[in-house]
Amino acid sequence: MEEGEIVVSVVVPAFNEEQAVGLVLDDIIAVMTPLGIPYELIVVDDGSTDQTRAICEARPQVTVISHPRNRGNGAARTTGVKAAKGRYIIMTDADGTYPISAFPQMIEELAHCDMVIGDREREMGTLKWLRSLAKESIKALASYMTQAKIPDLNSGLRAMKRELALEFLPLLPKTHSWVSTITIAFLSSDYVVKWIPIAYYKRIGRSTFHPIRDTSNYLMLVVRTIMYFNPLRFFVPLTLTLLSVGFGKMIYDIFAYRFHFAPSTVMLVLTGIQVGAIGLLADLIVRRSKS
């Protein structure tokens, strides 16, 4: 199909998903075909060593792009976005966890917003309790920094305008944090993001989720992404804390030691001023690079 004709590009990243990918693809075809909207279905096979690729290639509706070696969930998504030709991109995982039946509603919603995210009713992922804890804290941090209520930051089911997603590709990581990063990027750029409640199923096949590596990657990325878009959300509270503790101690020193300031008092105030100055500089860089 020619570029311009396609309205929806469905992108599915897949790494060793032979148990589920066939079912997921058949489900997508069954939901998309009756809509009568011109669409393409792209699977990015991320260097799978099982039957994933063969299963996808057996379906004529599917365009298969293969990474010669495994490059990571985020890298697979980036490859998919670059290859997509549709006005809209819908992403879902190849492990059978997301309800494909939500696609029509997501496409409709995109007429009024820039990104639609499936808000999972409950966490069913691998190592559920640890993930829930990490997820809630990171979500709170991201909500504070973007000043938006974020019901689900890293859902794998999402639809977005392709043109807008392309803006952020150089910024997006190769890891599992790709989905969270693009959510924050859209919110920080004041694009309209909408969440719709969806069901979430238990994964088919084995998980490769790595609790410590993936969680720490995730946290770092939230902070870095915020710094990229709105550094003052990070620097202002830090500066204010340092300065208020510093000035508090200064007043204490005035009364307790008759204007003899302790080295820690001077350090607190000076550090506060320096951190504030770095924050202003970071803000200047962001503003200049956007103008």
Ligand X SMILES: Nc1nc2c(ncn2[C@@H]2O[C@H](COP(=O)(O)OP(=O)(O)OP(=O)(O)O)[C@@H](O)[C@H]2O)c(=O)[nH]1
Contact 153, 140 (CB under 8 A): no
CA distance 47 to 173: 18
**CB nearer Mg ion, residue 98 or residue 103:** 98
Shortest Cβ distance from residue 209 to Mg ion (Å)? 8
Burial of 190 (0-12, 13-18, 19+ CB in 10 A): exposed
**CB nearer ligand X, residue 37 or residue 127:** 127
Shortest Cβ distance from residue 49 to ligand X (Å)? 11
**CB nearer Mg ion, residue 63 or residue 97:** 97
Asked if 17 touches Mg ion (CB under 5 A), the answer is no
Summarize as ranges the residues that interact with ligand X (CB under 6 A): 13-15, 17, 46, 70, 72-73, 76, 93-95, 97, 125-126, 156, 176, 203, 207-209
**CB nearer Mg ion, residue 45 or residue 95:** 95
**CB nearer Mg ion, residue 206 or residue 287:** 206
Name which of Mg ion, ligand X, none residue 17 binds, using a CB cut-off of 5 to 8 Å depending on partner kind: ligand X
CA dihedral for 123, 169, 205, 86, sign (positive or negative): positive
Shortest Cβ distance from residue 11 to ligand X (Å)? 10
Shortest Cβ distance from residue 9 to ligand X (Å)? 16
Asked if 95 touches Mg ion (CB under 5 A), the answer is yes
Asked if 18 touches Mg ion (CB under 5 A), the answer is no
Shortest Cβ distance from residue 241 to Mg ion (Å)? 38
Asked if 93 touches Mg ion (CB under 5 A), the answer is yes
Q: Copy the structure tokens of residue 274.
A: 């320096």
Residue of 166, 133, 139 whose CA lies nearest to 155: 139
CA 254-259-260 angle, to 5 degrees, is 115
Name which of ligand X, Mg ion, none residue 15 binds, using a CB cut-off of 5 to 8 Å depending on partner kind: ligand X
CA distance 96 to 109: 23
**CB nearer Mg ion, residue 24 or residue 222:** 24
Contact 151, 109 (CB under 8 A): no
How many other C-beta atoms can be found within 10 angstroms of the C-beta atom of residue 109? Answer: 16
The interface with Mg ion within residues 97-126 (CB under 5 A) comprises 97
Burial of 160 (0-12, 13-18, 19+ CB in 10 A): buried
Shortest Cβ distance from residue 38 to ligand X (Å)? 24
E runs forming strands in the chain: 8-14, 39-45, 62-66, 88-91, 115-120, 158-161, 193-198
Name which of Mg ion, ligand X, none residue 13 binds, using a CB cut-off of 5 to 8 Å depending on partner kind: ligand X
Phi-psi region of 259 (alpha: psi -120 to 50; beta: other; left: phi over 0): left
Shortest Cβ distance from residue 220 to ligand X (Å)? 17
Shortest Cβ distance from residue 14 to ligand X (Å)? 4
In angstroms, the first-to-last Cα distance of the chain is 37
**CB nearer ligand X, residue 94 or residue 100:** 94
What is 263-289 written as a DSSP string? Answer: HHHHHHHHHHHHHHHHHHHHHHHHHHH
**CB nearer Mg ion, residue 93 or residue 152:** 93
Asked if 45 touches Mg ion (CB under 5 A), the answer is no
- Residues at the contact surface with Mg ion, assessed by CB under 5 A: 93, 95, 97, 203
